[in-house]
Amino acid sequence: MTNVTIPHPNDVLAAIAALRTRENGVERSIAEWRSLYRAKLADNRRRPDIAIFTGFVNCLLERAMVGEAAFRRAQAFEKLFPDYDAVTTANAKKALKSAGYRWGPENGAAVIMAAKDIVTARGFSWEKYIRRAEDHYETDFQDDDFRKIKNVSFKTRDLALSELSDRFVAIDLHVIRVSSRTGLLLHGYGDQRITTDVSKGPGYLFFHGLMLNLARRTGWPGAGYSPGEIDRMIWHFGRTMCNARPDCRRCPLQRTCLTWKRRQAHGTT
């Protein structure tokens, strides 16, 4: 380890900021996607309660992390859930069937109704819930009632919270791949949970801690990049440049990426 210069997250994020990527047919630079994410966070918190709820459960139901499927569900929820009284098992199944939910409308409806029970309980408010989540972000808010719902994982709950708070991210393949290839993963070296297997709790929580560590190294909070911003930027980079077949010869991270340096050293570039 002493001969390895681990890339600084500020250098990595600055290098990829100008790269242009596409999502749902829209092209922007990664820096612009970052700014859009920050603006959407503020907007999401100001939405009416029922809109926050439908957006939240939409994320809780996500399995393949496919934007188009989530968009269809959002449309169905907006149409069939104008208020909490309309959130019934029958309407939930109808919405999921119309959106082509592949993991069983019955299972999805059960998640929706369990979430409704939480948010309509006496004393619940989204403002208080978000504040409590952010108070416990260091340990990924494990004592969360939404996490106790059957079929709700850390990843889907964190995806839901990431729409309301930049302290939470849903760790996916792109984050794992880019962190491993570039060497950012080594900022978590020494953590006994270190792994690239996030299918189990300890591995997922390791990456949660890694993202917080990377954010702090950039100067966050107060400056730098929040965990949510880092996640969004790496996600776009991983989908576009550092994907399953990385375009290393055009990559803006050649000066810092440990995989590129290893390939150069072994003459495999």
Averaged pLDDT of the chain: 93
* pLDDT above 60 (res 2): no
pLDDT in tens, 41-53: 999 999 999 999 9
Q: What is the C-alpha to C-alpha distance for residues 57 and 94, in angstroms, rounded to an integer?
A: 15
**Percent share of the chain, pLDDT over 90:** 82
Phi-psi region of 212 (alpha: psi -120 to 50; beta: other; left: phi over 0): alpha
- Least confident stretch, 18-27, 121-130, 137-146, 213-222: 18-27
Predicted pLDDT at 1? 45
Predicted pLDDT at 104? 86
Within the chain, strands assigned E span 20-23, 26-29
In one-letter notation, the amino acid at residue 219 is G
- Least confident stretch, 144-148, 168-172, 209-213, 261-265: 261-265
CATH 2.40.30.40 for domain 9-19+169-265: no
**pTM of the predicted model, to two decimals?**
0.91
pLDDT in tens, 174-189: 999 999 999 999 999 9
Domain 41-162, CATH: 1.10.340
SS3 content of the chain, % helix, strand, coil (to 5): 60, 5, 35
Residue 263 confidence class, pLDDT cut points 50, 70, 90: confident
Please tell me if the domain spanning 9-19+169-265 has the same topology as the one spanning 41-162: no
pLDDT in tens, 107-162: 999 999 999 999 999 999 999 999 999 999 999 999 999 999 999 999 999 999 99
Side-chain-facing half-sphere of 207: CA atoms under 13 Å: 28
Domain range annotation of the chain: 9-19+169-265, 41-162
| Among 262, 231, 234, residue whose Cα is nearest residue 248 | 262
Measured CA angle at 169 (ends 167, 172), to 5 deg: 165
Structure tokens at 252: 């803006």
